[in-house]
């Protein structure tokens, strides 16, 4: 899959070099009527300028996706890297990263976005995950729709009124609408991180990653690895599981042990809580773990200096929670709303910002 992504980078850069006009930001021609497309493009640009530390980042392409309930999202892809996913109806950016490549790179149509790490393309009566390659039968769409609608309800309950007022303002001038977009999107924000958050934020490889929908276990890997780095004398992770470079994990040894303590590849916040407790019992580690139905624990865990695991809420027809969607949160961003700063457990995705409206969480603390 990583080879495919690398090939995708080469292909899309080639396309952009030859056909850059295809992705040009729309320019309003009538000074008395700035188009919605132009205003939204200005909002995208302002968001990128506000959140990216690389001044060379520019918009490469704009794509459109639906979730399983046909709610609409916009995907903004950047070069040299970075992506932003925007919910137009609420004016919220639901996730973004200026460090990682778009999970939809190389795909153009039939795109499905169902929340963080839930990236699919519809093809041949199936939904194929763009990163893992996992396939879901299209008949599951109606079963996933309620969770998608719940997510959108949360987004709509915390609309970005400043952005929406700008989008809906019919009096904007084509001479000033770009600068006014900067005013609409620019908000002072404060990032709060756990101590030594770079143990996670700078870890782009050696994650114990394993194909097959084991994201919950990999998120638990990262939590245990963090505590090993912070308190090496506690021997949280056996030395044979640690990479010889001193950074990251060696192979999938820790992942495999955690999987052996679980029921299957499918993971929920509750099941990973049980796996963490079983692991600590097996290794004589004094610790506790708890599961919360909503993501309410994330902020308090970060404030207390502890990473936490955030789970989505996409559910199978039998009510079990879909497995491929756990992330490790090591910080949050506060301005007009709360956003979580997370490691996705995938190579190349150590720093993704996601809206604070999704899922449940599992906490872990040493005692």
The pLDDT tens digits for 96-142 are: 999 999 999 999 999 999 999 999 999 989 999 999 898 989 888 98
> Which of 267, 239, 286 lies closest to 328, judged by CA?
267
pLDDT digits (tens, 9 = 90+) for 275-297: 999 999 999 999 999 998 776 78
pLDDT at 27: 39
Phi/psi of residue 240, each to 5°? -70, -10
What CATH code would you report for 191-366? Answer: 3.90.70.10
pLDDT at 315: 60
Tokens describing residue 19: 């056909």
Instruction: Calculate the CA 20 to chain-centre distance.
Output: 28
Where, residue-wise, is CATH 3.90.70.10 in the chain? Answer: 191-366
Q: How far apart are the first and last CA of the chain?
A: 39
pLDDT digits (tens, 9 = 90+) for 52-94: 878 889 999 999 999 999 999 999 999 999 999 999 999 999 9
pLDDT at 33: 67
Q: Please enumerate in sequence order all residues whose Cβ is within 8 A of that of 308, keeping only pairs 6 or more positions apart, or say none.
A: 223, 297, 298, 301, 302, 328, 329, 361, 362, 363, 364
Tokens describing residue 350: 């150590």
> Which of 201, 209, 197, 200 lies closest to 347, judged by CA?
209
Asked if the model's pLDDT at residue 14 lies above 50, the reply is no
Helix (H), strand (E) at residue 215? helix 215-230
Residue pair 303/192 in contact (Cβ under 8 Å)? The answer is yes
Asked if the model's pLDDT at residue 322 lies above 70, the reply is no
Percentage of the chain exceeding pLDDT 70: 85
**Sign of the CA dihedral running 33, 34, 37, 43:** negative
pLDDT band at 6 (very low <50, low <70, confident <90, very high): very low
pLDDT at 183: 87
pLDDT at 9: 36
pLDDT digits (tens, 9 = 90+) for 142-177: 888 988 998 899 899 989 999 999 999 988 888 888
Rounded Cα distance, 321 and 228, in Å: 29
pLDDT digits (tens, 9 = 90+) for 200-258: 999 999 999 988 878 899 999 999 999 999 999 999 999 999 999 999 999 999 999 99
pLDDT band at 328 (very low <50, low <70, confident <90, very high): very high
Asked if the model's pLDDT at residue 13 lies above 80, the reply is no
Residue pair 204/312 in contact (Cβ under 8 Å)? The answer is no
> Which of 335, 362, 255, 151 lies closest to 353, judged by CA?
335
pLDDT at 214: 87
pLDDT at 94: 94
Phi/psi of residue 281, each to 5°? -65, -40
Mean pLDDT of the chain: 86
More confident residue, 180 or 23: 180
User: Would you call the peptide bond into 338 cis, given omega within 30 degrees of 0 as the criterion?
Assistant: no
């Amino acid at each position: 899959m990583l080879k495919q992504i690398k090939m995708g980078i080469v292909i899309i850069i080639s396309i952009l070099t030859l056909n850059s006009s295809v992705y040009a930001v729309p320019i309003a021609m009538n000074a008395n009527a700035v188009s919605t497309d132009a205003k939204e493009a200005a909002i995208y640009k302002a968001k990128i300028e506000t959140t990216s530390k690389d001044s060379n980042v520019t918009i490469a392409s704009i794509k459109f996706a639906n979730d399983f309930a046909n709610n609409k999202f916009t995907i903004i892809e950047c070069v040299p890297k970075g992506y932003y996913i925007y919910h137009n109806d609420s004016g919220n950016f639901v996730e973004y990263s200026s460090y990682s490549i778009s999970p939809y790179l190389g795909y153009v149509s039939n795109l499905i976005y169902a929340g963080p790490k839930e990236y699919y393309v519809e093809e041949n009566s199936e939904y194929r995950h763009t990163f893992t390659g996992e396939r879901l039968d299209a008949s599951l769409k109606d079963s996933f729709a309620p969770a998608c609608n719940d997510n959108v309800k949360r987004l709509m309950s915390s609309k970005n009124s400043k952005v929406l007022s700008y989008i809906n303002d019919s009096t904007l001038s084509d001479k000033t609408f770009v600068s006014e977009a900067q005013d609409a999107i620019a908000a002072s924000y404060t990032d709060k991180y756990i101590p030594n958050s770079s143990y996670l934020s700078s870890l782009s490889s050696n994650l114990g990653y394993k194909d097959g929908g084991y994201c919950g276990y990999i998120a638990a890997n990262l939590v245990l690895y963090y505590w090993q780095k912070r308190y090496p004398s506690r021997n949280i992770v056996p030395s044979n599981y640690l990479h010889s470079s001193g950074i990251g994990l060696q192979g999938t040894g820790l992942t495999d042990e955690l999987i052996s303590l679980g029921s299957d590849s499918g993971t929920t916040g509750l099941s990973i809580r049980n796996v963490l407790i079983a692991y600590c019992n097996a290794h004589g580690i004094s610790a506790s773990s708890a599961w919360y139905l909503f993501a309410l624990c994330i902020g308090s865990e970060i404030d207390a200096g502890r990473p936490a695991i955030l789970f989505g809420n996409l559910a199978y027809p039998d009510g079990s929670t879909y497995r491929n969607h756990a992330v490790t949160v090591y910080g949050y961003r506060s301005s007009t709303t709360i956003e979580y700063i997370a490691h996705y457990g995938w190579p190349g995705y150590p720093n993704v910002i996601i809206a604070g409206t999704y899922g449940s969480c599992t906490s872990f603390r040493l005692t």
